[in-house]
Structure 1
Amino acid sequence: MKYIFPQKMKAIRQLGPLSENSISDPKEISKILELTELDLPKPQPGQVLIKVNRGSMNPNDLYHIKGAYSSTLNFPYPRGVGFEGAGTVVANGGGIVGRMRMGKRVAFYTKNGLFAEYVLADSLKLIVLPKNVEFQEAASSVANPITGMGMAKWAKASGSKYFFITAAAGAVARMTIRASQRYGLKSIAIIRREEQRKICEEEGASHVLNQSDPDFEKHLTALCKEVNCTYGFDCIGGDMPLTLIRSMPQGSTLCMYGYFNTGPMLLQPQKLFNGWKIQFFETEYYVNSLSLFSRFRLSREVIQNVNGIFRPKIQRQFPLDQIQDAYAYYSQNMTDGKIQILCE
């Protein structure tokens, strides 16, 4: 049956950056995001056109609308929003891979503005869904699971048997804790609120520390020394990296996987000159560094476990015309499950 294409599509467009203190205010968000009609895009060679079923929200979605996401800093306004989702391939721009993907249900990641009825994506970066995986799970099966797998692999490669991770009750950290157990690693979960302790314990964290504890740095220092933890992940930024590096044995590595605090990051140069190291993990750069075979193997491992260890908890779903409410809600409920945007 031939697919009938509309001339126009509905899409969310961002008109400008959102101020930091407006992230939880739907009225302020609605001033910089609009639901509009655009011409249907045509796929170029190496691209496919996807009819989007739904998208998922991640921390980078918040960075993006604040104009602080490193991967889209130079993207001009008006611009699209949304990066991760699932849908059906309905057209291609040519090439063997693109033609092979026609009609396939896929999970994918794109910077072309996924919170829309249709979007263009790279034909080589699609994850074809098996019959037993639904769009609801698939739409959250790219960013967090692949990030968690990649971070676990980096921790394993460091040679440390233990690693710590901040914002440990968040989706990425929980995926990392789960994935790391496949490699025999043990984790130190660093939480911000005491009610998050049970979440991390249930995920399999070996130890849980609360950064709000007045003696947090003292406890982390003692624990890192006791178990010889020489690798850690942070996504908070600000002055937290300095606290973490001070707690780690000489020669340790701190890997940044985000920056909740978008301001300057505090470090101590003397530490870096005496063997401590800083790394940065960004999912897109990590995936692009892999060979095509390694990408395929990673994608297959993730999708085979999307109904298992990588199964997402879906918290709420919003239609496109409630996008401002979705962003505001997500900004205040980032650890309670996935927020999805319904695009059909």
Structure 2
Amino acid sequence: MSTMKAIVLEDLNQFSLKEVPIPRPKQGEVLIRMEAAPINPSDIVSLKGQYGIKKQLPFIPGLEGSGTVVESGGGLLGWSLVGKRVACYCDKGNGTWAEYVVASAKNCVKLTAEISTEQGACFFANPITAICFMDIIKEQRHQAVIQTAAASAIGKMLLRYCMHENIPIVNIVRRQEQVEMLREIGAPYILNSSDENFQQELRKLSVNLNATVAFDCVAGEMTGTLINAMCENSVVYVYGSLSRQNIGGIDPSALIFSNKRVEGLWLQRIMKEKGSISKWNIANRVLNLLPQVLKTDISKEFELGSLNDALEFYKKNMSSGKVLLKPKLIPSNNHVEGEGGILRLQIK
């Protein structure tokens, strides 16, 4: 039986590099030879069994990645992708931390020549999240924005996007080197949450800029700090929990008398509610903005067999950029043969 190397999560936080059968695509699916896959925060919580989508163990982790389609299970869309470089998204079944992955053809986007394999690997999670954030900002007519963890991959992406759209954004970080990092990008409003006067400065900027929306991936006491500092009729969207603490510190009067609110935001739920045309439009917006505005900083690359080192590096250097897993390709004596219009991967 034809096999490949893949990271297999056999129990929570227990994974290993194993030799497993190469999957076969069904109707509407394609087989992709993976070239790069990022480590996202959602992947890390998935390893712990804490992500919103629960998969049956054992499974191959990895939410997204990029590679070349080498086989179609059938269907016009799948056939049109064979031989093409694509970004892929795997929210069901096995994921992208493998040499090959099967994905729905609808969850693949053909990459343009301007988009590198590395940028394509990070096509979905952060860029589409930034697109959704911008849609919220514009649809709800917010004049200014606040974000926490602004030195993160999505933080820098949203910063560039807001600058591109001429929307003021207050960027909250927790270390001085992160302040310098955002200054290099051109951020005009940066607050260090470790400073003694942080809350006073946050309140001042919120009022001066009329910032009525915040995107918070820290949670804990930070959510309360945001709500208490912001103007009337403000909303804080919580989309992560880097603090690993329950939300706290909210003044009830802010909710009762100032019409402020806290809402959870999960990209999976948002995209599930969108139709095919909306998803197609979002993908095209990412394609247009990805080379510059929605680009991802890449800090380091690791082979699949070095996942422990990759995870350790990522946890210690999350502000430096994304960590990519680069699957080691199966030896070159493999070839692809056509069969009745459906390509079959033949492993000798």
TM-score normalised by length of structure 2: 0.88
Residue equivalent to 1:332: 316
Residue equivalent to 1:82: 62
- State whether residues 231 and 252 of structure 1, in contact with CA within 8 Å, keep that contact through their aligned partners in structure 2: yes
RMSD: 1.8
Equivalent of residue 299 in structure 2, options 312, 315, 334: 315
Counterpart secondary structure, 2:290:
coil
Q: Does 1:8 align with 2:6?
A: no
Q: 1:305 to 1:160 in 2, by over 3 A?
A: closer
Residues 264-303 of structure 1 mapped to structure 2, 5 A cutoff: 264-266=246-248, 267-274=250-257, 275-303=259-287
C-alpha distance in structure 2 between counterparts of 1:251 and 1:259, whole Å:
24
C-alpha distance in structure 1 between counterparts of 2:59 and 2:245, whole Å:
24
State the 1:86 CA deviation.
0.2
Structure 2 counterpart of 1:50, which letter?
A: I
Equivalent of residue 160 in structure 1, options 134, 142, 157: 142
C-alpha distance in structure 2 between counterparts of 1:226 and 1:131, whole Å:
43
Q: Does 1:231 align with 2:231?
A: no
Deviates more, 1:314-323 or 1:285-294: 285-294
Q: Does 1:125 align with 2:120?
A: no
- State whether residues 64 and 95 of structure 2, in contact with CA within 8 Å, keep that contact through their aligned partners in structure 1: no
- State whether residues 254 and 278 of structure 1, in contact with CA within 8 Å, keep that contact through their aligned partners in structure 2: yes
- State whether residues 153 and 180 of structure 1, in contact with CA within 8 Å, keep that contact through their aligned partners in structure 2: no
Residue equivalent to 1:23: none
Structure 1 counterpart of 2:17, which letter?
A: L
State the 1:307 CA deviation.
2.4
C-alpha distance in structure 1 between counterparts of 2:145 and 2:74, whole Å:
45
Counterpart secondary structure, 1:75:
coil
What percentage of residue pairs aligned between the two structures are identical? 31
State the 1:268 CA deviation.
4.6
Q: Does 1:207 align with 2:220?
A: no
C-alpha distance in structure 2 between counterparts of 1:304 and 1:120, whole Å:
26
Structure 2 counterpart of 1:159, which letter?
A: R
Residue equivalent to 2:157: 175
State the 1:234 CA deviation.
0.6
Q: In structure 2, list runs of 5 or more residues that go unmatched.
A: 330-348
Q: Does 1:17 align with 2:1?
A: no
C-alpha distance in structure 1 between counterparts of 2:320 and 2:148, whole Å:
16
C-alpha distance in structure 2 between counterparts of 1:169 and 1:211, whole Å:
13
Equivalent of residue 103 in structure 1, options 57, 79, 83: 83
Residue equivalent to 2:122: 140
State the 1:279 CA deviation.
2.5
C-alpha distance in structure 2 between counterparts of 1:103 and 1:263, whole Å:
46
C-alpha distance in structure 2 between counterparts of 1:281 and 1:180, whole Å:
19
TM-score normalised by length of structure 1: 0.88
State the 1:301 CA deviation.
2.2
State the 1:158 CA deviation.
2.4
State the 1:270 CA deviation.
4.3
Deviates more, 1:127-136 or 1:248-257: 127-136
Q: 1:268 to 1:43 in 2, by over 3 A?
A: farther
Q: Does 1:218 align with 2:170?
A: no
Structure 2 counterpart of 1:180, which letter?
A: C
